[in-house]
């Protein structure tokens, strides 16, 4: 199927919406980012982008940070909601496909170049085996990519909302505090931007210290680590706990094609992340340690991989 002259793709998270155009060569271009807080609805943000680019696309693929199960899409971590058919009609599109944002990230994996990913630890991928993807950002995205006769197929999920399990006495103490605050302590409650704040606050409370009003970016900043040791401790615990959840994902999926870490947090921490407990905790599964040791783990460092995956989906009939 040939591409139209202009196709629209978007990656809409809980904080920002990124849009791009896809022309005949199939590559995203004219990428722009918009803060969701500046717009009352998704169509308003898209209208702004299309007016700035003077574009009239015939088809579009939008990746959203929520389940996309039927016509009505409700964002998990933002107040926006929209009807897929209403947006299609509003934009005058012949075709509009809406998918989970981490399904789009998964679709990008076959198109990543050598410089788009960094391997953490050992292991080699098994061809045609399932691939797992996990990514902390405003939330915790999880998806799978499997090989089929028709090509790579993403399997969206809400795996970020699995119950978080501790792997140490200190993590148990943190989770005990979290259970007093939340009815269900999911992995996302700890492995996300807000999760970093939760971890830091809990560690301060356990040490009878007053938590500073740090943002997730500040908590993961080496400059702040020198001022407040609990921020570094929270970042280290974040990496270790992510290793536990990523290892669980690999076992559940049989992800011998590898497990990829994406999202907005880890790519900015690659040096620290590589030296953290992530990989040792990924493999720390008792009798299945040897099984996991053979599975490679990667950090996706390419900016906005969901747009690359959305562009790949736009090519499909």
DSSP line for 136-196: ESSSEEEEEEEEETTEEEEEE--GGGSBP--SSHHHHHHHHHHHTT-SS-BGGGTSSHHHH
pLDDT in tens, 162-185: 999 999 999 999 999 999 999 999
Specify if 111 maps to a domain.
no
| Cβ-Cβ contacts under 8 Å for 9 (sequence gap 6 or more) | 19, 20, 21, 22, 28, 60, 61, 62, 63, 307, 310, 311, 314
pLDDT higher than 90, residue 61: yes
The count of structural domains within the chain is 2
- For the stretch 118-148, pLDDT in tens is 999 999 999 999 999 999 998 999 999 999 9
Q: Are residues 142 and 283 in the same domain?
A: yes
1 domain-assigned: no
Q: Hey, how many other C-beta atoms are within 10 angstroms of the C-beta on 42?
A: 22
Q: Are residues 73 and 129 in the same domain?
A: no
What are the tens digits of pLDDT across the range 107-123? 999 999 999 999 999 99
Please name the residue that has the structure tokens 């943002």: 215
229 shares a domain with 249: yes
Q: Is the pTM of this model over 0.85?
A: yes
The pLDDT assigned to 79 comes to: 84
Number of H helices, E strands in the chain: 12, 13
DSSP 94-108: SEEEEEEHHHHHHHH
The C-alpha atoms of residue 274 and residue 119 are separated, in whole angstroms, by 9
Q: Using one digit for the tens of pLDDT, what is the confidence trace for 190-246? A: 999 999 999 999 999 999 999 999 999 999 999 999 999 999 999 999 999 999 999
Q: What is the pLDDT of residues 3-54, one digit of tens each?
A: 445 799 999 988 899 999 998 777 889 999 999 999 999 999 999 999 999 9
- The CATH code of the domain that includes 206 is 3.40.367.20
Q: Which domain holds residue 77?
A: 7-106+305-314
What is the pLDDT at residue 24?
77
CATH number for the domain that contains residue 97? 3.30.420.40
C-alpha 181/C-alpha 249 separation (Å) is 26
Please state the rounded mean pLDDT for residues 253-261: 98
Mean pLDDT of the chain: 94
Indicate the helix (H) or strand (E) that contains 247: helix 229-253
User: Do 309 and 279 fall into the same domain?
Assistant: no
Flag whether pLDDT at 78 surpasses 90.
Answer: no
Verify that 102 and 145 share a domain, yes or no: no
- Report the SS3 class of residue 312: helix
Largest distance between two CA atoms of the chain: 62
In tens, the pLDDT along 3-16 reads: 445 799 999 988 89
Domain for residue 283, yes or no?
A: yes
């Amino acid at each position: 199927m040939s591409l139209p002259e202009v196709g629209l793709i978007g990656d809409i998270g809980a904080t920002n919406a990124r849009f791009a155009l896809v022309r005949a060569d199939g590559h995203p271009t004219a990428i722009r980012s918009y803060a969701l807080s500046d717009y009352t609805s998704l169509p308003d943000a898209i209208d702004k982008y299309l007016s700035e680019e003077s574009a009239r696309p015939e088809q579009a693929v939008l990746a959203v940070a929520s389940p996309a199960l039927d016509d009505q899409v409700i964002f998990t971590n933002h107040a926006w909601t929209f009807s897929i058919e209403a947006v299609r009609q509003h934009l005058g599109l012949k075709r509009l496909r809406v998918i989970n944002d981490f399904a789009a990230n998964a679709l990008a994996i076959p198109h990543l170049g050598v410089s788009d990913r960094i391997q953490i630890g050992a292991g080699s991928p098994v061809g045609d085996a399932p691939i797992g993807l996990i990514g902390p950002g405003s939330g915790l995205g999880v998806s799978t990519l499997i090989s089929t006769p028709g090509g790579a197929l993403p399997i969206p999920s809400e795996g970020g909302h699995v119950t978080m399990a501790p792997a140490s006495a200190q993590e148990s103490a943190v989770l005990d505090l979290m259970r007093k605050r939340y009815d269900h302590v999911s992995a996302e409650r700890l492995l996300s931007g807000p999760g970093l704040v939760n971890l830091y606050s809990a560690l301060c409370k356990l040490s009878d210290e007053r938590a500073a009003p740090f943002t997730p970016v500040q908590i993961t900043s080496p400059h702040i680590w020198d001022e407040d040791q609990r921020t570094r401790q929270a970042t280290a615990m974040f990496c270790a706990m992510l290793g536990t959840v990523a290892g669980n994902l690999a076992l559940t999926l049989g992800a011998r094609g590898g497990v990829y870490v994406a999202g907005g947090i880890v790519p900015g921490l690659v040096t620290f992340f590589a030296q953290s407990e992530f990989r040792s905790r990924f493999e720390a599964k008792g009798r299945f340690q040897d099984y996991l040791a053979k599975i490679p783990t990667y950090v996706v460092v390419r900016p906005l991989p969901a747009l690359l995956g959305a562009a790949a989906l736009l090519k499909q009939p």
